[in-house]
Amino acid sequence: MTDFAQAFARRTRLRGGDELTAILAGSPPGVLSMTGGFPNPATFPTDELDEIAARLVREDAAVALQYTPCAGIASVREYLAERQEQLQGRRPESGELIVTSGGMECIALTCQALIDPGDTIAVEAPTYLGALMAFAGAEADVVAIATDEDGLRVDALAERLAAGPPPKFLYTIPEYQNPTGRTLPLDRRRALVELCRRHGVLIFEDVAYRELSFDGSSLPSLWSLAPDVVLQAGTFSKSFFPGVRLGWAAGPAQVIAELAAAKQTTDQCAGGLGQRLLEEYGRAGGFERHLPAARALYASHWAALSAALTRHMPEGADWTEPAGGFLTWVTLPEELDARAMRPAAGAAGVAYVPGAPFHVGDGGRNTLRLSFSHLTETELETAVERLAGVVRGALEQAPAGPLAR
Ligand SMILES: Cc1ncc(COP(=O)(O)O)c(C=O)c1O
């Protein structure tokens, strides 16, 4: 058999491990999986989709089944612009928004448009694994900025900007962050946009979970505060359904034009059928009808998970308190290694994502990410009971904690 390894591009060795592939593949039967940030299928509006899809194929095939303009179907872009105005208080101008094939494509287009090998970009630590892999694959020099319980530490970014040449951009997820579930408060949002404006640094804002606050509230997006320095990546994967593979990029026209040009070399256009489905669903009030129930579902799942963690996890374990989204971030006693615990977790019938891959370089060994979106409340209770048993087992085997060492 011919070995093609020497033909592979350098970026294939830079991307990182197979964590995302494993998450998307799902868990074996019998394992209660808290891995993927997958929306709960109960939130999929199947009846409405059934009706709209049939109608589009019948009456709008020439548009919905055809290639579309690179930037998206004009009426869909118009709808998305109206939606930005309704939800974020600002309407993008015509060159300031394009339709993308999901949030991940927006990240990939941004890499293509902005990163030359060796360019420095900044991320919060920890951050979304898919973005980290894309940035590494683009051969960026990724610098991690410290976070605390309120998300990105703007003072740490200010120090970094004062110390050296600015990064090409800062990638940040301001609400219900992946992986920590944390949200950046308003005062930090204002300070962040002011700082980046002063230094001429583009902010790359990922709003993947923004519409899924538990109580329906939201803070101003960074893009709405500073459309001159913010590129926003949005996705309909969490609020509509991921099978549609749709999202958007909104930002300065100059940047958006480069993303649109880059899209000519990826898929050329997002799927027309999905675009028209989204537009018809949205214009008919689908989001207003369905999102409140989705928010309530995720809020009650979080309540169940939070109660189970409190009930079962051993002393020394701690976790974040998200106000929306799908994720919480667990910190275990320092002597534990969440990656090394994984086989025992699999044997006990529970799965999570270890925290280390969400970091640049080392860090996060004793952390893990839990998703509460798709297991039932009863399953979450059982899953945490199993996880707590695995943690206790690892504690018994681990060398004693720092005080005893
Ligand atoms: C923070 C964040 N950004 C982007 C994405 C990717 O979104 P999409 O499924 O639309 O590609 C995800 C998916 O989980 C995410 O969590």
Tokens encoding 278: 């989204």
Whether the predicted model's global pTM rises above the 0.85 cut? yes
Give the Cβ contact number of residue 95 at 10 Å. Answer: 13
Whether the CB-CB separation of 307 and 325 falls below 8 Å is answered with: no
For position 405, what pLDDT does the model report?
38
For position 289, what pLDDT does the model report?
96
Measured in Å, residue 339 CA sits from the centre of ligand 1 at: 23
Residue 163, class by beta-carbon neighbours within 10 Å (0-12 exposed, 13-18 middle, 19+ buried)? exposed
Measured in Å, residue 243 CA sits from the centre of ligand 1 at: 12
For position 361, what pLDDT does the model report?
86
For position 32, what pLDDT does the model report?
96
Task: Please report, to the nearest 10 degrees, the dihedral formed by the alpha carbons of residues 258, 264, 268, 269 taken in order.
Answer: 20
Strand partners, 145: 124
Taking CA atoms only, the protein residue closest to ligand 1 atom 13 is 37
Whether the CB-CB separation of 355 and 342 falls below 8 Å is answered with: no
3-class secondary structure per residue, 35-56: CCCCCCHHHCCHHHHHHHHHHH
Dump strand ranges (E) for 244-284.
Answer: 247-250
Tokens encoding 210: 């923004």
What whole-number distance in Å separates Cα of residue 399 and Cα of residue 382? 28
Whether the CB-CB separation of 116 and 346 falls below 8 Å is answered with: no
For position 203, what pLDDT does the model report?
98
* Mean pLDDT per 10-residue section of the chain, whose length is 405 residues: 90 76 79 95 97 98 97 98 98 97 98 97 97 95 97 98 95 98 98 98 98 97 98 98 98 98 95 98 98 98 98 97 98 96 96 95 94 97 98 89 46
What whole-number distance in Å separates Cα of residue 99 and Cα of residue 249? 7
Measured in Å, residue 103 CA sits from the centre of ligand 1 at: 5
What whole-number distance in Å separates Cα of residue 336 and Cα of residue 390? 11
